[in-house]
Amino acid sequence: MEQCASVEREVDKVLQKFLTYGQHCEQSLEELLHYVGQLRAELASAALQGTPLSATLSLVMSQCCRKIKDTVQKLASDHKDIHSSVSRVGKAIDRNFDSEICGVVSDTVWDSREKQQQILQMAILEHLYQQGMLSVAEELCQESTLNVDLDFKQPFLELNRILEALHEQDLGPALEWAVSHRQRLLELNSSLEFKLHRLHFIRLLAGGPEKQLEALSYARHFQPFARLHQREIQVMMGSLVYLRLGLEKSPYCHLLDNSHWAEICETFTRDACSLLGLSVESPLSVSFASGCVALPVLMNIKAVIEQRQCTGVWSHKDELPIEIELGMKCWYHSVFACPILRQQTSDSNPPIKLICGHVISRDALNKLINGGKLKCPYCPMEQNPADGKRIIF
C-alpha cells in the first residue's frame, strides 16, 4: 500500500495548491477591482469638473496598468506551476504502478480466455446480488448472455428482502425465516431466533406502560431459550420494574441502544449465509483485497525470474511460486505443508499420519519407501507404508 500512499501524497499537494491558488486569485482580483474602482471614480470626478487630466492622475493610471499586468502575469505563472504539480501525479502513478500487470503471470497458468471471462462475470454477478444491487445484476445477465438459474438467485433475493426489512426495523420476515429454519439453526448453535425475539420484546418495552401486558404475554417466546440465555431473560424481566418510571433513566437503559439493530443485521447475515452455504463477504471483494496485497510481491518475483532467466518456476495454476502472507483476515481453513518436501498438501497429495504419529505428505511417503519398508524421517521406527492413515483437517 506504500505505492498508493505515495500517489495520495502527490494528489494532496495538488489539492492544497488548488486551494491556495484559488484563495490568492480571489484576493488579488478583489484588490485589483477595488483599486480600479477608485481610479474610475477619480476620473469621473475630474470629467464632471471639466478639468484637464493632471500629471498625478496620469501617473496613477500608469501605475494601475502596470499593476494589472503584473497581477495577471503572477496568476498565470502560479497557474503554470499547478500544471506541473498535476503532471507529477501522473509520473507518480507511472513510477509506483505497473501499467501492464497481465504479464505478471504466464498465460499457461490460467484457463482459456472464454473461461476466465465467464468466471469473472459470475464473480461480479454474485457480488451484485450479495450487495442487493439486483437491477444491475439483471442488466449484467442480459448484456453478458449469462444463463443464471433461479436457484442461484433465490437465496440472495431472500436475504436482501429480509435485510431490507431489518434496516427498516421490521422483524417480521426475519422471525418467520428463523422459525422455519429453527432446527438447522440449532445445529449451528445459532442464537439468531432468540435475539430476534429479544429485540421484539425490547421494542414493546420502548412503548411504555401501555405495552406492559403485551410484553409479558410475548415473554412466553423465551421459554425454549431459558436454559442457554437465562441471564439475558432475567435482565429483560427485571426491566419491567422500571417501565412506569421510564427505561431511559433506569439501569436498563442499555436495552434501548440502537446498536442492537446493527448487531441483529450482522448476526442474521452471518448465520443465514452459513446455513445457505454462502460466504459472508463477497468473494470478489476478498479476491480483490488479496490481489492488492499479493500483486506487488508477484511483480518482484517476475522481475527476478526475468533477470535470472528462470523458466518453469510457476507453471501450476493451483499454487504460487512463493508463500504470500495475506493476514489473519484471509485465513478460512487449516493448511498443512509437508515438512519433508516443504509443499502445501492438496487433494491429490494429502497429508498422511504414520504409526509413530508424525505427519508427512503422500508424495514424501512414496519417495521414502525403500524395499517395501518406510523409515520415519523423524524417528527410527520402521513401518509398513500401507499403515499410514490419511488426515482430513
* Residue 311 zone, left/alpha/beta (φ > 0; ψ -120 to 50; rest): beta
Residue 41 above 70 pLDDT? yes
Between 323 and 230, where is the model more confident?
230
pLDDT digits (tens, 9 = 90+) for 57-85: 778 788 888 888 888 888 888 888 888 88
CA distance 251 to 239: 8
- Does residue 125 contact residue 146 with C-beta atoms inside 8 Å? yes
Identify the burial level of 78 via C-beta atoms within 10 angstroms of its C-beta, where 0-12 means exposed, 13-18 middle and 19 or more buried: middle
Lowest mean pLDDT among 18-27, 308-317, 378-387: 308-317
What is the three-class DSSP state of 389? Answer: strand
Question: What integer pLDDT is reported at residue 147 of this predicted model?
Answer: 77
pLDDT digits (tens, 9 = 90+) for 232-259: 888 888 888 888 877 788 888 888 888 8
- Does residue 265 contact residue 166 with C-beta atoms inside 8 Å? yes
Lowest mean pLDDT among 47-56, 278-287, 341-350: 47-56
327-339 as b/e: b if 16+ CB within 10 A = eeeeeeeeeeebe
CA distance 277 to 265: 18
Residue 2 above 70 pLDDT? yes
* Residue 121 zone, left/alpha/beta (φ > 0; ψ -120 to 50; rest): alpha
CA distance 360 to 349: 10
Residue 131 above 70 pLDDT? yes
Question: What integer pLDDT is reported at residue 318 of this predicted model?
Answer: 59
Predicted confidence band of residue 320 (pLDDT cuts 50, 70, 90): low
CA distance 213 to 207: 11
Q: What is the mean pLDDT of residues 356-375?
A: 87
pTM greater than 0.85 (yes/no)? no
Which residues are registered as beta bridge partners of 235?
none
Residue among 71, 68, 87 nearest 24 (CA): 71
- Does residue 371 contact residue 387 with C-beta atoms inside 8 Å? no
Identify the burial level of 308 via C-beta atoms within 10 angstroms of its C-beta, where 0-12 means exposed, 13-18 middle and 19 or more buried: exposed
Residue 127 above 80 pLDDT? yes
Predicted confidence band of residue 31 (pLDDT cuts 50, 70, 90): confident
Predicted confidence band of residue 100 (pLDDT cuts 50, 70, 90): low
CA distance 227 to 250: 27
Q: Report the chain's terminal Cα–Cα distance, integer Å.
A: 33
What is the three-class DSSP state of 378? Answer: coil
